[in-house]
A and B are shown apart, each in its own frame.
Chain A
Amino acid sequence: MTTTTSFIGKISDTGMLSANVKKIISDFTRWVVVPAIGVLVFMLLWSAAAQNIDTSLGKFPGPAAVWEQFGTLYDEHVTERQKAADFYERQEQRNAERVAKDPGYEPKIRAYTGKETFLDQIVTSLITVMSGFLLAVAIAVPLGIAVGLSKTLNAAVNPIVQIFKPVSPLAWLPLVTMVVSALYVSPDPMVAKSFLNSMITVTLCCLWPMVINTSVGVASIDSDLVNVSKVLRLPALTHVRKIVLPASIPMIFTGMRLSLGVAWMVLIAAEMLAQNPGLGKFVWDEFQNGSSDSLARIMAAVLVIGFIGFLLDRGMLQIQRFVSWDKSSADR
């Protein structure tokens, strides 16, 4: 590598390449070549380590075994979709037959009763995490603003926030489960109880970083801005809307980004423990199955979980950059 760069350095010294091109090449090295080498080394270490770990379910899966499982998981998804299509076809036929015999019958199309594939589980997990996260935003941002504006309220709320912040989702889950089954009683529920359980657990866990960041952001607004508001005698709501919100947006989004990371981690644990549909349940089911492919399938899920977590974080970072006037805070 060094020889290449020094070679390029020589050429550019002679003026054949502009400084601009040199920058592109060094950027390319830093952002593409070096990470690629990192991944490659990791893969090699992983395969080498995998060869040497014997579990009671066979060898620990290496990259090749995991890659193969991605293929299998996709094939399973395709097969299941085909089965679903057949299911609907048979159902329509059966409904038509019954209507012919029993004209009073109102045919109804029921959702496919087969299993959820890996892709379905990913979608379920994403929906759950986003719902839980949005609910947390809806609670935490107003609360954080209120706490940030009033020192008294801050003193009152702060101990509660500090105590609940480090609580693990696993501790909340049994409580949430019992409360949901006690309060959410309906003969034809809109959403499944299990969905509510994991969603509320996610909300409870990702609430706190947002409350803290929002309140800190609000409390540390430049006093000049507050003074302007005072001079103009802005009404309270306008003060919040025109001064407080724009000024604290960077901090609010920093909090949201932290929270989304927490939410994703919490969700997987919650699904695993509560048997709620999603990626966590997928991992747990595979662990219980104990087949020779189980470990490779779990590893595939681990990679997907990590990749989705990364994408969520990057997505939040982009939004944060987009809405924030204070570009420097985005990289915190």
Chain B
Amino acid sequence: MKWLRPFKHALMATVVGAGLGTAAAHAELGYPEKEELKFGFIKLTDMAPIAVAYEQGYFEDEGLYVTIEAQANWKVLLDGVIDGRLDGAHMLAGQPIAATMGFGTKAHIITPFSMDLNGNGITVSNEIWDQMKPNIPKMDDGRPVHPIKADALKPVVEKYKAEGKPFNMGMVFPVSTHNYELRYWLAAGGIHPGYYAPHKGDTSGQIDADALLSVTPPPQMPATLEAGTIYGYCVGEPWNQQAVFKGIGVPVVTDYEIWKNNPEKVFGITAEFAEKYPNTTIRLTRALIRAAKWLDENNNANRPAAVKILSQPNYVGADYDVIANSMTGTFEYEKGDKRAVPDFNVFFRYFATYPYYSDAIWYLTQMRRWGQIPEDKSDQWYKDLAAQVYRPDLYMAAAQSLVADGLAKASDFPAADEDGFREPQTHFIDDIVYDGTKPNDYINKFSIGLKAGDKL
């Protein structure tokens, strides 16, 4: 990054200059109360905003001295944030919601910044792929038609069931995006992924299941698949592309195809942290917004540089080519079958970083659908919980100060009178429309899953 230094100095000079010029305009944003911070992450490409904010000096521009530390798994990471070992972390969108709700460890975690859209895939082992392939329609050139639905997998699962063999699949955490996406995809194809019943002490999520889902940390997914412990998994990048490179599995579907532009990771901090260090919170959000903007700037022009950063051993550490595959707008399914998926990783466009209440509510509806929320809740309950966790107010404060400093345009962000709900979303693999303002109606639309009034 040596060559960047002159630019950085110039940038810093303008920041300082702009800061002086507009000091009156946003006098409320003072110096950070806590300057030395430690952030945790899991080795996935969607941690990129944190790495970029560090490497591009955005944290330092805010007067924050940040140490970034890889964590062994999502549980260790969440516990780290709760007990204060970490000041903040790259989290699964479901984690702050579940923690605040009290599913798993109870703690009030908030998110001022949503980290990205999409970025996950579902991979099956070569053995399963060979059995699935005859069920998939082909294009003229012989390649399978995408998106592949779980209908193609259903006969395989049924065969294993008939033979009395459990059909095991891996996901990364019970409240992870991956769990809900894998369940969504399976259920849309008629495969039951199983219910949770926390009120009865059953948190395995395998009640009535056709496919048995269990937790495996992301970096260990390929090795576990290779060992034959699981037949497929849903995980973030680079661990799907890794399977292609190693020749041990085939990604069948990306989450972009399951739900176009689905919200993925968030940046989580404790509510206590945000209360105690308000300036620090705004400042770290500013740095992350700038990093996300840099990642998507000029039609992904900076992505190769970002991939270079991510391939360093202290960040994601996988090979440049493996990470580049998905980060630079393509995705390799079967070996050699590389297709353009320009929005596979979205970090900033489509207001990707804005913490929409409707995103939080979607996760809550899936928690209810699979029994993690064991009983009926009112629409209002969904809204209140989302508002406790997702904090667009903090995001907007950071965004407006960036606009005031000339570091971003007002058009980069949603309008100030935004109500926190996206328009009803239609781009799901099973064509079911999601309207965040009516969660209970939404749950009732699914053929597989708990509906209003159901209790295990």
- List residues of A whose CB falls within 8 A of some B CB: 56-57, 82-83, 86, 90-91, 94, 97-98, 102, 105, 108, 110, 113, 115, 181, 193, 275, 285-286, 288-294, 297
Among the listed A98, A181, A193, A286, which residue makes an inter-chain contact with B63, where contact means beta carbons less than 8 Å apart? A98
How far, in angstroms, from A291 to B310 measured CA to CA in the complex?
A: 12
B36 lies within 8 A of chain A by Cβ: yes
Please give me the residue from chain A that is nearest to B1 by CB atom: A83
B313 lies within 8 A of chain A by Cβ: yes
A113 in contact with B65 (CB, 8 Å)? yes
B317 in contact with A288 (CB, 8 Å)? yes
B219 lies within 8 A of chain A by Cβ: yes
B314 in contact with A90 (CB, 8 Å)? no
Contacts of A82 in B (CB 8 A): 2
Please give me the residue from chain A that is nearest to B61 by CB atom: A94
How far, in angstroms, from A286 to B70 measured CA to CA in the complex?
A: 12
Please give me the residue from chain A that is nearest to B43 by CB atom: A288
Not counting A181-B83, A290-B219, A294-B317, a sample of 8 additional A-B residue pairs whose C-beta atoms are within 8 angstroms of each other reads A86-B5, A97-B16, A102-B31, A115-B314, A285-B314, A286-B313, A288-B70, A288-B220
A56 in contact with B248 (CB, 8 Å)? yes
A291 in contact with B311 (CB, 8 Å)? yes
Contacts of B71 in A (CB 8 A): 275
A290 in contact with B60 (CB, 8 Å)? no
With A102-B31, A289-B313, A290-B242 known as contacts, the answer to whether A275 contacts B318 (CB < 8 A) is no
- Closest-CB distance, B174 to chain A (whole angstroms): 21
A285 in contact with B70 (CB, 8 Å)? yes
Contacts of A83 in B (CB 8 A): 1
B319 lies within 8 A of chain A by Cβ: yes
B274 lies within 8 A of chain A by Cβ: no
Please give me the residue from chain A that is nearest to B320 by CB atom: A291
Among the listed B1, B247, B313, which residue makes an inter-chain contact with A285, where contact means beta carbons less than 8 Å apart? B313
Number of interface residues, chain B, beta carbon within 8 A: 39
How far, in angstroms, from A98 to B19 measured CA to CA in the complex?
A: 12
Contacts of B258 in A (CB 8 A): none
Contacts of B43 in A (CB 8 A): 288-289
Contacts of B226 in A (CB 8 A): 56
- List residues of B whose CB falls within 8 A of some A CB: 1-2, 5, 12, 16, 31, 35-36, 43, 54, 57, 60, 63, 65-68, 70-72, 83, 85, 219-220, 222, 226, 242, 246-248, 311-314, 316-319, 322
Contacts of B317 in A (CB 8 A): 285-286, 288-291, 294
With A113-B65, A290-B318 known as contacts, the answer to whether A94 contacts B248 (CB < 8 A) is no
- Closest-CB distance, B23 to chain A (whole angstroms): 9
Minimum-distance CB pairs A-B, first 7? A289-B317, A115-B314, A56-B246, A288-B219, A113-B67, A110-B65, A291-B319
- Closest-CB distance, B243 to chain A (whole angstroms): 9
Contacts of B247 in A (CB 8 A): 56
How far, in angstroms, from A90 to B57 measured CA to CA in the complex?
A: 10
- Closest-CB distance, B141 to chain A (whole angstroms): 29
How far, in angstroms, from A285 to B66 measured CA to CA in the complex?
A: 20
How far, in angstroms, from A86 to B57 measured CA to CA in the complex?
A: 11
Please give me the residue from chain B that is nearest to A286 by CB atom: B313
Q: List 28 A-B contacts (CB under 8 A).
A: A56-B226, A82-B2, A86-B5, A90-B57, A98-B63, A102-B31, A105-B31, A108-B35, A110-B36, A113-B54, A113-B68, A115-B312, A115-B314, A275-B72, A285-B314, A286-B313, A286-B317, A289-B43, A289-B219, A289-B313, A290-B219, A290-B242, A290-B317, A291-B311, A291-B322, A292-B319, A294-B317, A297-B313
- Closest-CB distance, A94 to chain B (whole angstroms): 7
Contacts of A285 in B (CB 8 A): 70, 313-314, 317
B31 in contact with A98 (CB, 8 Å)? yes
Contacts of A289 in B (CB 8 A): 43, 219, 313, 316-318
How far, in angstroms, from A285 to B317 measured CA to CA in the complex?
A: 9
Contacts of B312 in A (CB 8 A): 115
- Closest-CB distance, A76 to chain B (whole angstroms): 8
How far, in angstroms, from A117 to B57 measured CA to CA in the complex?
A: 20
Contacts of B242 in A (CB 8 A): 290
With A288-B219, A288-B317, A289-B317 known as contacts, the answer to whether A113 contacts B16 (CB < 8 A) is no
B222 in contact with A56 (CB, 8 Å)? yes
A57 in contact with B60 (CB, 8 Å)? no
Contacts of B16 in A (CB 8 A): 97
Contacts of B5 in A (CB 8 A): 86
How far, in angstroms, from A90 to B5 measured CA to CA in the complex?
A: 11
Contacts of B311 in A (CB 8 A): 291
In this complex, which of B1, B70, B226, B247 has the most chain A Cβ atoms within 10 angstroms of its Cβ?
Answer: B70
Please give me the residue from chain A that is nearest to B219 by CB atom: A288
Contacts of A98 in B (CB 8 A): 31, 63
How far, in angstroms, from A173 to B83 measured CA to CA in the complex?
A: 19
B219 in contact with A110 (CB, 8 Å)? no
Please give me the residue from chain A that is nearest to B239 by CB atom: A290
- Closest-CB distance, B55 to chain A (whole angstroms): 10
- Closest-CB distance, A281 to chain B (whole angstroms): 10
